[in-house]
Structures are given as C-alpha cells and as structure tokens.
A and B are shown apart, each in its own frame.
Chain A
Amino acid sequence: MNSALIELRGVSKSYRKGGETIDAIADIDLEVQETGMVAVVGPSGSGKSTLLHMLGAMDRPTRGEINVAGQVVNRLSQGELTRFRRQTVGFVFQTFNLIPNLTALENVALPMEFNGVSKAARLKRAKSLLERFQLGPRLKHRPRELSGGEMQRVAIARAVANEPRLVLADEPTGNLDSRSGQIIYEVLREISRERTVIVVTHAEDLARLADRVIHIRDGRLLDAPPMPGLPLDRNELHFVQQRAI
C-alpha cells in the first residue's frame, strides 16, 4: 500500500525557446509523504518553480505522471483542475497576491466561497484562521493597510482556508525582512503539522526548518527518494549524507 501524498514518475518538462529545446525538469521520480514541510532548494533556473507549478496543476509535464492525493493531475479536465485547486492544494505566493479591494477577512473567505461554503461558515472560519495567525485586529484591513509580513500571513490563511492536503509556497519570504520572514517560517511550520507544505526557497534558514530538503539542479533532483518507513526528519539526514558524498 502506498501512503505517499505526491508521486512523480518519470516527469519531464521541456520548453521550446528560439528553436532550442530546454529541459526545465528532466525525468524526475519523487515521492512525498502526507504532512510535514519539504523545502525545495536550488540555484535560479534549476527548475524548482517549474516543479512547484506542476505539483499545483498550474502547468503540465511534457512526459511522465504526477499523482497528488490519488489524482493524476496531468490528466484532469479543466473542471477537475479547478476543483483540484479549490480542494486539494493551497498556494502561497512571494508577492502575496491578495485581492487589493477586499479586506483580510474577505480575502481568506474567497476560496471557501469558490468551494461552496456558506457565508456564515466561511466568515467564521476566516476569522478563526486570521486570529490564529495573530491578525485578529486586522480583519477589516485591506492589503495596502497591512505590512508585508501581515499580508503573507493573510495569504497563508487563504491557502489553508479550504483545508487542503497540500500547500505550495513559492519563495514565501522573498519579499520580507528577516524578522517577518522568521514569523512566516513559524506559521508554515505550524500548518505543516496538519498537511504537506512544499516550500521553494533560497533561504537557508527556512530550508533548515524543513522536515525534508530536496535539492534540484539543472532540472534533476540531487537527493534520493525517501526510503520506505524512514521518518521525515531522517530524510534531511539522508540528504546531508548524500551531499557529503
């Protein structure tokens, strides 16, 4: 029986640029277990964002198969993809991407509305999430009235609003100072206790906090797939050992 939340088998992604084929991702096999925080690190252009986009069904692989929570995402129809993004995955963006004319509360409630949650229920949950992330006094504030760190916490609350099994964060501290970044690490760490959080980051501090670190370079993974039965925190050790070699 396979308990992996994410399974990638022979996944490649190529682009055509100026008559030349560029392999952003080359024949990747990967499994990620349910719950915990996974950091994807690598130099710019290594393919880590492309990997994240494919996991979130924003982009399709050229070859291979991506299975997330029992769904082969690269075979989903347009309607199924929309449902997948609503229910299975939450996104946290580097630039927060809050809707500027909605309050913090409304921003968090928005994905629940797409998911058909009643108004009372979604406002109650949005309020509870924002209070959990110390944003209780900021419920009625619009994004322009919030600091960068506050905006990212609102974005994280929005990402988990529909209780997805997977949260994908692309450089979530890239636009924040170190103090705000630290708070975001803690929040991501906290939400990863209930779900899988995959973070693409350049930040060494954040990578160090992850249960597992996946290194990627030139579209290829540098770490081995997790060994069956190995606890997540051992994967880090496994990677460190690999790196040492």
Chain B
Amino acid sequence: MGMIFLGLRNLLRNKSRLALIVVLIGAPFFLLLAMQSIGEAVDQQTTEMNRSVNTVLQLRARGSMGHVNMSNQDRLLPDSVVEKVRAIDHVIQVEPYLLAMSPTTLPNFAMHVGLAPAAVKRLESHGESGNPRIIAGREFTPEDAGQDVAIIGQGYAEWAGIKPEDIGKATFTADPTRTHPVIYGINRPKRTLRIIGMYASGYVFGDLQMFIPIDTFRSIYGIEHGFSWVFVQADSVDNVAAIAQRLQETVGDVADILAPKSAAVFTATTSRTVIQLAGAGGVAALVLMIVVVFFVLLMQVRERAREIGTLKAIGASNGGVTIQFLTEAIAFTVLGGLLGVVVFQLLGEAITARLFSLGIGSFLPSQYKPLFDSLSVSSHVSGSVLVLVVAVAVFAAVIGSSYGVWQAIKLSPLEAMKDE
C-alpha cells in the first residue's frame, strides 16, 4: 500500500473538494502557460524584428545631404571618417557612398550612386529599408571596380529608353554638366556607361537610381576625396545605441549620425517590458499556486490531526507522514497542471489574446499597440512545456506544502486521543 498510495487514496475522500482544489490550482497553471506563451510570442516577434530591423547607422557631413552637385548640400565627409568608424567596437561593416543628382524630365531627377562593387545597394529614398533586386542582367563583381559599368533602376531605364532585354548591350551617358533648379553643373566630360544589370525595388523613386563603381563615380564627377554617406553596420541591434554614442564622440564634429532609433528603442524597451510583464505574471501564477497548496495542506493537516496522531501511534514515522502529505500535494498540483494544460489547449489562444490586451497591452505606450495586435500566441503545448508544468507542479507542491508538512511532523501521537 505504502504512504504514497495512502496519500493518493486520500485525494478521493471528498471528490467535490478535490475538484475545487484542482480548479484553484489549474487556474494559475493556465495563467502560467498563457504568460509563458505571451513571453515566447513576443520574444519570437522581437527576434524576427531584430532580424529585419535596421542595424545600420548612416553618417552624412554635418548639415549637408552630401550630394556632390546639389546646391548648398554638397559638403562631404572627410576620408578619415571611414578609418575612425572601422575602429569602433561592434562595427562589422563600413560602406562609403558617393551620390550625385541627375535631372530627368523636369522637375524630376534621378540619383547616381557610387559604391564599392560588393557593397549593399541601398535606395536613397528609403535609406536602409530598400531592397533592390536584379530583374535583368547581373550584379557587380570585384572586376567591375573602376570600369565604366552601371546597374540601373527600372524607372530610370524606362526614362532612358533601356529595355530589360537590352541589358549587357545598352549604354547610358552620364553628363555632369546638366543642371536643375537645385542641381548645379560640374564641368566634366560626359561618360558612357555600359548597363550590366537592371533592378526593381517596388518604390517609384527607388527605381530612379543608377549604381556605379565608386572609382568610376569619382572619375566622372571629379571627386578625389570625401564621401557623401557612410553606412555603418552594427553586429547586433543591442549595440546600435552604443555605436551611435561612440560615433558621436569620434566623428560628431564633422558628421550627422542617423541611427535607427525607433527600432532600437522599441527592441530595448517595449519587447523587454512585455517579456518582463509576462515573466512577472508567471511568477504571480506560481505564487498563487503555492498559496493555494499552502492553505489546502494546512487545512488538511488541521482536519486530519487526529488521524495523523493515530498513524504515529500505530507506528508511522515522520518520514512516512511527510511522504503521504507530499504525495497529496504533488498529486493536487500535477492534476491542476494537467487541467491547466487541457484548458489552455482548448481555449488558450482566445483567452491569452484577451489576457494580453487587458493585462499587458494596457501597460504599453499607445504607438506600440498596433504592433502587438498581430502577436501570434500559440496554444500549442510542447513536450518541454509539459516537463516545465510537471517541474513547476512539484516545485509548488514542495514549497507550498512545507509548512503544512512541518505542522504534521510536529503533531504528537497524543492528537489521536484529543476528542476522547
């Protein structure tokens, strides 16, 4: 039979009480699972955002757009900036650009971008978030450095009468002398560039660009020194703020630093806050569980004092009494945990989303709420979560029952005589 078996048999003494206790313990378990699932969803969302979020900072000469032929906006970053930036911790890539504006049909213009052949092609209009992809021809190769070649956006190509099927054979003549109300001419000869590739970005102005190897660009526009923009890639979103701070200290006197602040702030504060709130909810659920076990066990010991005394009088050891009550406590919490898991699987998604909007959403700054409307909370309970449930059940049972068990151990066999 064993004290374990006796403990399990005790569960069935009062079935309605058992049901009530299991519900009381199951509710915090449900809360724990909900909080765990919210934390997991936010964590996943944050990871996803961190993956796509900008970890690139942009430097421009102070107060200048850095376009080599734009009126009053043609101041460039000095060459020394690049070396200084490369020396900063957590900087994994430094990519300098040169930009020139080129009039199209007035008052419009396109952008000529000089960059290293291997550098990421960023769209001027959308900064770091643009994603140009080659739709005809090819990408730059290292051999293209210094060559008269270019990759053109499909909008700019259409204006220039270049069709995708002409890529590889088509040419484009860059004329630095052309002007526009905000563009001044540079007295340099025209240069014919062979178009080796065409890209599309999905943005109208994004497609009005042409990428040129940076040495070729310098040669066309006669720019021997300096850079329009320098893109600085951080190794992680967590280090963006620190790099921005370091950039400010190092090159702040000559450069404006454009850090992807909103993303960094969001990641650093909101996600962390939500995860912390979810964690706090989980801890509250655990405490609630321990409190329920505490009172249930205390009630059981008080109610069964005479029985405990009798067991001791007929030879039960304190260890045996401990095992009996611990078994009962663990059985209560495991049953509560299983109930919590079942209810969570059935109603988890709907209730958790509601719980999130009421319990956590209200703590979030209003601008972040829409981001979490799309939070995908899963009610799936994995094997590892089941193991966690059992571990939490045992932990809550041991902690919650310890005072009750201690009271039971302290009881004298004389309790058996008390009502006599």
Contacts and interface: CB of A to CB of B under 8 A. Distances in A.
B1 A101 contact: no
A134 B277 CA distance: 66
A111 B315 contact: yes
A99 B1 contact: no
A101 B12 contact: yes
Given A53-B417, A158-B314, 10 more contacts: A58-B313, A78-B318, A82-B312, A94-B420, A99-B310, A99-B311, A100-B307, A101-B9, A101-B10, A171-B420
Interface string A129-159: 0000000000000000000000000000011
Interface in B287-311: 306-307, 310-311
Nearest to B314: A111
A115 B311 CA distance: 12
Contact of A101 (B13, B315, B318, B419): B13
Interface stretch (B264-272, B388-396, B408-416): B408-416
How many B residues are at the interface, by size bracket? 20 to 34
B210 to A, nearest CB: 87
28 contacts: A49-B417, A58-B313, A59-B414, A78-B318, A82-B312, A82-B316, A83-B315, A85-B312, A85-B315, A86-B314, A86-B315, A90-B314, A91-B310, A95-B420, A97-B313, A99-B307, A99-B310, A101-B12, A101-B13, A102-B9, A109-B1, A110-B314, A111-B314, A111-B315, A113-B2, A114-B315, A114-B320, A158-B314
B316 A114 contact: yes
Nearest to B412: A58
Contacts of B318: 78, 82
A-B residue pairs, 3 tightest by C-beta: A86-B315, A114-B315, A97-B310
Interface in B4-40: 6, 9-10, 12-13
A93 interface: yes
Contacts of B417: 49, 53, 58, 93, 170
B317 interface: yes
B223 to A, nearest CB: 93
A93 B416 contact: yes
Nearest to B12: A101
A132 to B, nearest CB: 19
Interface in A74-128: 78-79, 82-83, 85-87, 90-91, 93-95, 97, 99-102, 106, 109-111, 113-115, 119
Given A53-B414, A93-B310, A171-B420, A100 B317 contact: no
Contacts of A158: 314
Contacts of B6: 99, 102
Contacts of B314: 85-86, 90-91, 110-111, 114, 158-159
B316 A56 contact: no
A162 interface: yes
A219 B233 CA distance: 93
B1 A106 contact: yes
B414 A91 contact: no
B420 A174 contact: yes
Interface string B311-336: 11111111010000000000000000
A162 B313 contact: no
A79 B311 CA distance: 15
A69 B416 CA distance: 23
A51 B10 CA distance: 33
Contacts of B419: 95
A11 B47 CA distance: 77
Which of A78, A83, A95, A158 neighbours the largest number of chain B CB atoms within 10 Å of its CB? A95
A217 B230 CA distance: 105
A56 B9 CA distance: 29
Contacts of B414: 53, 58-59
B413 A85 contact: yes
A82 B307 contact: no
B315 A97 contact: no
A85 B414 CA distance: 12
A153 B320 CA distance: 26
A109 B6 CA distance: 13
A159 B310 CA distance: 11
Q: Which of B6, B315, B419 has the most CB of A within 10 A?
A: B315
A78 B13 CA distance: 30
B82 to A, nearest CB: 79
A87 B317 CA distance: 13
Nearest to B419: A95
B324 to A, nearest CB: 11
Given A99-B310, A101-B13, A174-B420, A58 B1 contact: no
Nearest to A159: B314
Contact of B420 (A79, A93, A115): A93
B10 A91 contact: no
B10 A162 contact: no
A60 to B, nearest CB: 10
A131 B419 CA distance: 30
Contacts of B420: 49, 93-95, 170-171, 174
Nearest to B413: A58
Contact of B315 (A82, A99, A170, A174): A82
A82 B9 CA distance: 24
Interface in A3-38: none
Nearest to B320: A114
A170 B313 CA distance: 13
B317 A82 contact: yes
A83 B319 CA distance: 13
Contacts of B317: 79, 82, 114
B196 to A, nearest CB: 87
A110 B5 CA distance: 12
A39 to B, nearest CB: 17
Given A85-B313, A85-B315, A114-B316, A97 B413 contact: no
Nearest to B310: A97
Interface string A38-81: 00000000000100010010110000000000000000001100
Contacts of B306: 95, 97
Interface in B373-420: 412-414, 416-417, 419-420
